[in-house]
Amino acid sequence: MTKPRLFSGMQPSADSLQIGNYIGALMQWRGMQDDYDAFFTVVDLHAITVPQDPAQLREKTRRTAAQYIAAGVEPSRSTLYVQSQVPAHAELAWILSTITGFGEAGRMTQFKDKSQRYGADQASVGLFTYPVLMAADILLFQAEAVPVGDDQKQHVELTRNLAERFNSRFGETFVVPTPVIQGETARIYDLQDPTSKMSKSAESQAGVLYLLDDINATAKKVMRAVTDSEGVVRYDRAEKPGVSNLLTIYAALTGREISSIEDEYAGRGYGDFKKGLRDVIVAEFEPVRARALELLEDPAELDRVLSANAERASEAAEQTLATVYERVGLLRRG
Ligand code: ATP
Ligand code: LTN
């Protein structure tokens, strides 16, 4: 029996991924490879929607791919490739942009946040149409499942709407995908500002736990995480965002219930709790970091693996694109 398709991706927007990417995405990806025909992409075309230095972008693209592999994505089993190496992404995005409403795209909260961050004059049209490219990524592969963090739910909703709209206008063409989201507990916040989502391209790195950081630096960041003055290890997102965020990380990495961690630390201070969490994170990150750095020592081999996988992805993508061109009425080259 053929396995259902899965698609997901991350932007090469930093030298290292952060723990939110690991918990919100990579851990799920790793676990779903057995049951799905999975495509994992480094979405470099998305990354250039905000300014990037060309040499650094190439380097970040390799580093992101290496971290996928180090975290357990297996390029012999899943298709791990770089988005720009498969031109069908950009081609389908154009077609989908013609059935996307201007207002519909304008309601995307990530666009609103990012355009505010860069200033309305600096925000590009590419940033505005970012979700349309994301829809193209997913629909090209007829993916049923899209494992993402909770912040990407709105984009997958848009993808569903575009798939349904295309299907009803031009005939059944796309599988309508379903987001696979762990729920609110899967959202990780900045350790210094626990009401903002942790983000790998954050301005201040003090509250971001990077996978490739030196282990001592990671340990220090955990010990310095913002908490509160109550002194009780208890989950309460509204009143205790700092401690709740640390509990979420602890539970996600160990697979334990939050209540069992609260019980373990009952009557003990935040110092003990943070030390426990620090040990959990260090044990999780150490092998991933070592493997990623090892892979990066041989960039030519990494590039070879990525190219071979892009070849595989192209074959699947071209099939969908041919059908789409046909349905839309574009005259194909003979
Ligand atoms: P950027 O700062 O470039 O926007 P990011 O760190 O927010 O990057 P993305 O590349 O946008 O990460 O996202 C990659 C994947 O990681 C997505 O599936 C996203 O939902 C997930 N993710 C990102 N940040 C978090 C977070 N703080 N908590 C949970 N999941 C997250
Ligand atoms: N927009 C996503 C990255 C992304 C993606 C995708 C995720 C681009 N294309 C397709 C899932 C499926 C983000 O910013 N995290």
What domains appear along the chain, each with residue ranges and CATH number? 5-186+298-328 (3.40.50.620), 205-293 (1.10.240.10)
User: Are 25 and 42 in contact, with CB atoms under 8 Å apart?
Assistant: no
Position 185 scores a pLDDT of 59
Q: What angle, 0 to 180 degrees and rounded to 10, lies between the N-to-C axes of helices 215-223 and 270-296? A: 150
Q: Which ligand is closest in space to the CA of residue 136?
A: 2
**Smallest CA separation from ligand 1 atom 15, residue:** 21
Residue with the nearest Cα to atom 11 of ligand 2? 8
239, HSE (Cβ side, Cα atoms, 13 Å): 8
Position in ligand 2 atom list of the atom nearest CA 43 = 8
Q: Please state, in angstroms and rounded to a whole number, the distance separating the CA atoms of residues 196 and 262.
A: 23
Helices (H), 129-269: 130-140, 153-170, 215-223, 241-254, 258-264
- In the predicted model, residues of the chain with pLDDT beneath 50 are none
Sheet holding 79-82, edge to edge: 79-82, 37-42, 5-10, 145-147, 178-180
Q: Which ligand is nearest to the CA of 202?
A: 1
3-state SS class at 305 = helix
Look at residue 184 in the predicted model and tell me its pLDDT.
61
- What does the pLDDT read at residue 115? 85
**Closest alpha carbon to 128 in 60, 38, 42, 50:** 50
Q: What is the pLDDT of residue 118?
A: 78
Q: Check if 114 is active-site.
A: yes
- Give 151 Cα–ligand 1 centroid separation in angstroms: 8
CA distances from 292 to 69, 82, 273, 283 (A): 7, 17, 29, 15
What pLDDT score was predicted for residue 151?
Answer: 83
pLDDT score of 240: 97
Q: What is the pLDDT of residues 247-287, one digit of tens each?
A: 999 999 999 999 999 999 999 999 999 999 999 999 999 99
C-beta neighbour count of 303 within 10 angstroms: 15
Residue nearest to atom 9 of ligand 2 (CA): 134
With 0.85 as the threshold, say if the pTM is over it: yes
* The predicted structure's pLDDT at residue 37: 97
Confirm or reject: Cβ of 151 under 6 Å from ligand 1.
yes
44 lines ligand 2 (CB under 6 A): no
Q: Are 73 and 36 in contact (CB under 8 A)?
A: no
| CA-150 nearest atom, ligand 1 | 20
**Is residue 3 among the annotated active site residues?**
no
Is the alpha carbon torsion for 182, 183, 185, 189 positive or negative? positive
> What is the model's pLDDT at position 314?
98
